[in-house]
Structure 1
Amino acid sequence: MFQAAHGNQQTLLPPVREPETGADTRERTADRPGRDAFFDNAKYLAIVLVAMAHAWEPVMDGSRATRALYMFVYTFHMPAFIVISGYFSRSFAGRPHQLKRLVTGLVVPYLVFEVAYSLYRRWAGGTPDQAISLTDPIYLTWFLIALFVWRLTTPLWRSVRHPLALALVVAALASLTPGISQDLDLQRIFQFLPFFVLGLSLKPEHFALVRRRPARLLAVPVALGALAFTYWIAPDIRMSWFYRSTSAEELDAPWWAGPVMTFALFGCALVLTAAFLAWVPRRRTWFTVLGAGTICGYLLHGFLVKGMEYWALVPAYRLDTPLGRVVVTVVAAVAVTAMCTPPVRRALRWVTEPRMEWAFRGDAREAGVSRR
């Protein structure tokens, strides 16, 4: 799902132009012929799913179909982002210019939007005494700090034997450890870690497999079967399992349920991520250019979704009706699309891709310039 540690383009997911670095390139490179439209398309379509799923959360009570769709999308939308993020982080080695990109591309936006969402909650949410904490991510800012941690540990995962198996063990153990979500949302960092490590292990030919016609045809029954299954279990399963932000104990489940759900959800997410990528267009489309602005869509759409809660828009406008849910879905898709456009990217460049030359030594600055 995000902006990278090195390179020169700001997107929610790492760039296509420099697959060996995992960098997010600047907007001016978004249309260069060396980019693979497939990944830009995937990033845009994934962020639309993220925004729609977040918008469904306050309106899905009383609708089994909406809850099932919500569960279906939540199974794979973040794993898809994270897998691609890992794929484009394969050459991160902690070099000075890479660390600079890590700070300017992840730490700075995290700090700014963590404060912004906290102030928004205090003002619109009616909690003026709510403390602002930089170590307890609010709402969607957790992903920024998670990607920061994952990318820092990339050299380790590239060095050990059987990295995916080890990451799954870490995730399973995290599901048995209550209370760790209070600090930098470590529960999510550990439980989503296997998807990032998987991305580090992938090669271009693996993505080529899901882009073949047989994979596209197989993806249809797989997706339909998954939808039917989620509709069947929707009333009985707790959505907290999909958020990966709590341990089994905190969900009042037996200890063994944590590791079981860790492996089960990993398998389900992997299958649905492959099905999703199978139907991502390979050619340039009208929305390909929007893939370069997904960081803006990700960071901004939360204000819209949280506004529904803070201002009680759901009961006021009867948005929890069938028509209301359709309206919410369309508005979320249109809004996040607008947030990914070049004018918005330019307006937010000061926070999503600050240069901060004053904060770094010459070796980091020069190395970063030489790679452009």
Structure 2
Amino acid sequence: MSKPSEAFILNVKFVLIAFVVIANVIEPLIDRSGILRWLYQAIFTFHIPMFVFAMGLLAKDFRLDHRGLHSLVEIAWQYVLFQTVYSLMDAALFHADGVVHSFFMPYSLLWFLFSHLCWRAMLPLFIRMKHPIIVAVGLGIAAGFLPVSGAWLSLSRTFVFLPFFLAGYSIRLDRTFQQSLRR
């Protein structure tokens, strides 16, 4: 990727993170203001698809070679580490209702990390397809009919957001930035 497109992706990530911080700050106030409720709902409607899209943009160089396998191991290690820490903290301090302490049920936001691992691992299969995004949309719809809990291995979220990951991977920012720099 060229430097302008790398800067663009970093800026997109910053804006998305800022929106999440804003949404979390205004959450206690959403019952008091219709505008704040609307802003909160708007942010949480689009921020996950956009984060997944950005992860797809950042996966352009991913291959299932030594370096690619190393990155998958890093993601898996982070998942295991944080799943362990969060589960221990919950069991020792928080005792949150309905939490299942299992590596097969990602704790809270760790579904995103586990799904990211799956998206990267599935990428080589999907880039060989003629219409990968259409197939991914079909899988996302089918995931809604799985006879297992959607939280189990975050399967439903993994497949529902897979089209956004593939769309991000498919976008060619370098050409777009080169054309805009020529103008």
- Secondary structure of 2:150 counterpart: helix
Query: TM-score, normalised on structure 1?
Result: 0.43
Q: In 1, Cα distance between the equivalents of 2:159 and 2:15?
A: 25
Residues 1:82 and 2:57 are matched in the alignment: no
197-206 or 181-190, which moves further after superposition?
A: 197-206
RMSD: 2.8
Residues 1:134 and 2:103 are matched in the alignment: yes
Residues 1:145 and 2:145 are matched in the alignment: no
- Secondary structure of 1:139 counterpart: coil
The change in CA–CA distance for 1:111 and 1:61 in structure 2 (over 3 A counts) is: farther
TM-fit CA distance, 1:158:
0.6
The change in CA–CA distance for 1:51 and 1:138 in structure 2 (over 3 A counts) is: farther
Aligned length: 179
Q: Mapping of 1:255-270 within 5 angstroms? A: none
Unaligned runs of 5+ in 2: none
What do residues 170-219 of structure 1 show as CA deviations (whole Å, max 9, x unaligned)? 1122223353423211111111111001112110157549x89xxxxxxx
Aligned to 2:153: 184
TM-fit CA distance, 1:154:
0.7
Larger Rg: 1
- Secondary structure of 1:61 counterpart: coil
TM-fit CA distance, 1:100:
0.9
TM-fit CA distance, 1:60:
2.8
Q: In 2, Cα distance between the equivalents of 1:165 and 1:35?
A: 26
Q: In 2, Cα distance between the equivalents of 1:131 and 1:171?
A: 24
TM-fit CA distance, 1:35:
7.6
Whether the 8 Å CA contact 1:90–1:154 is kept in 2: the answer is no
Aligned to 1:316: none
Aligned to 2:40: 70
TM-fit CA distance, 1:124:
3.5
Q: In 2, Cα distance between the equivalents of 1:140 and 1:206?
A: 34
Aligned to 1:61: 31
Residues 1:91 and 2:61 are matched in the alignment: yes
Aligned to 1:100: 70
Q: In 2, Cα distance between the equivalents of 1:73 and 1:206?
A: 29
What do residues 27-66 of structure 1 show as CA deviations (whole Å, max 9, x unaligned)? xxxxxx7883222121112112123324444553354322
What do residues 269-295 of structure 1 show as CA deviations (whole Å, max 9, x unaligned)? xxxxxxxxxxxxxxxxxxxxxxxxxxx
- Secondary structure of 1:52 counterpart: helix
Q: Mapping of 1:2-41 within 5 angstroms? A: 19=1, 36-41=6-11
Aligned to 2:126: 157
Unaligned runs of 5+ in 1: 1-18, 21-32, 213-372
